[in-house]
Amino acid sequence: MPKIAVYPGSFDPPTNGHLDVVRRAAKLAGTLYVAVATNTTKEPLFSVEERFALLEKITAGIPNVKVDRFDGLLIDYARTVGASAIFRGLRAVSDFEYEFQMALTNRRLNNEVETLFLMPSQDYSYLSSNIIKEVGRLGGDLSPFVPPEVAELMKRKHSGKGPGK
Ligand code: ADP
Strand partners, 68: 35
pLDDT along the chain (165 residues), means of 10: 96 97 98 93 90 98 97 96 98 94 98 97 95 95 97 91 56
120 CB within 6 A, ligand 1: yes
The rounded distance, in Å, linking the Cα atoms of 104 and 91 is 19
Instruction: Judge residue 6's burial from the number of C-beta atoms within 10 Å of its C-beta, 0-12 exposed, 13-18 middle, 19 or more buried.
Output: buried
- Given a contact cutoff of 8 angstroms between Cβ atoms, the answer to whether 89 and 18 are in contact is yes
Residues 29-50: tens digit of each pLDDT: 999 999 999 987 778 999 999 9
Q: Is 75 exposed, middle or buried (0-12, 13-18, 19+ CB in 10 A)?
A: buried
The pick from 21, 115, 150 for probing ligand 1's pocket by mutation, whose C-beta has the most ligand atoms within 8 angstroms, reads 21
